[in-house]
Amino acid sequence: MRVVGLITARGGSKGIPRKNITPVAGKPLMAWTIEAARSAQSLGRVIVSTDDAEHAEVARAWGAEVPFLRPAALAGDYSLHVDTVVHALEWLAAHGDRPEFVMTLQPTSPLRTAEDIDAAVRLAADRSASTVVSVSQAMTHPFLTMSVTDDGKLADFIPKPSDLRRQSFPQAYALNGAIFLHRCESLLAGRQMCPADAYAYLMPIDRSLDIDTPWDLHVAELILRDRASAE
């Protein structure tokens, strides 16, 4: 199976300006994902989709291909991720490249490893899967989440049995944003990042950080520096 790695790195970010090229443990944030993708055995190409010339320059400096710039209409705060992937696949097809699978890798998941990438591809091959999506155990179980009523009182967010004990909670998982692997024809037909028939690739919490805030950046810095010192 031929798999293209697609790193989606738009230039804009409100929470952390220029987030994808912000230095983290001595490298631009996106470099951690580029290096993992290039080290993986299962990816035939590693392409960065960005709307920003500076991001494109950084991506090329770290060894990724940037064969096109993404249209600005696909790089806004409310743009759909799936539309960015479809745009990349349509560009590749127009230039004679029709991979069987595309793996979308967000640069905001710098702790994901090459081994995770290869394991997700093996899972797709073993299960004849059209979609594999990475998940991790939910940090807060859904039964422990609450809502606040209009008059300020706590209420269960979802109904649960009154006699349910924490020790008997069913396992709960959450998308961690690190890996989305799709058979290209299925993605183009259904246009969903996580369709109903997706298989779960389970990742541990310590590789599932999705950077959204300055605090997340700080945590990633500590973990990646610690990881580097242990090697």
pLDDT tens-place string over residues 171-193? 999 999 999 999 999 999 999 99
| CATH at residue 222 | 3.90.550.10
Give the sign of the dihedral formed by CA 132, CA 104, CA 115, CA 46. positive
**Domain membership flag for residue 142:** no
Q: What is the domain range of residue 119?
A: 3-137+172-230
**Domain membership flag for residue 145:** no
The pairing of strands 27-28 and 154-156 is unpaired
Using alpha carbons, list the distances in angstroms from residue 109 to 3, 65, 116, 167.
19, 19, 12, 30
**Domain membership flag for residue 221:** yes
* DSSP string for 88-108: HHHHHHHTT---SEEEEE-TT
Place 231 in a pLDDT band, splitting at 50, 70 and 90.
Answer: low
Encoding tokens for residue 22? 């912000």
Place 210 in a pLDDT band, splitting at 50, 70 and 90.
Answer: very high
**Domain membership flag for residue 143:** no
For 12, how many CA atoms within 13 A lie in the half-sphere containing its CB?
12
**Domain membership flag for residue 167:** no
**Domain membership flag for residue 148:** no
What pLDDT is attached to residue 164?
74
Q: Indicate the number of domains in the chain.
A: 1
15, 212 Cβ separation under 8 angstroms: yes
Q: What is the pLDDT of residues 7-37, one digit of tens each?
A: 999 887 777 889 999 999 999 999 999 999 9
**Domain membership flag for residue 213:** yes
Run of H or E including 134: strand 131-137
Q: What is the pLDDT of residues 51-99, one digit of tens each?
A: 999 999 999 999 999 999 999 888 888 889 999 999 999 999 999 999 9
Q: What is the pLDDT of residues 126-166, one digit of tens each?
A: 999 999 999 999 998 888 899 999 999 999 888 877 777 77
**Domain membership flag for residue 56:** yes
Residue with tokens 């690190």: 178
What pLDDT is attached to residue 142?
87
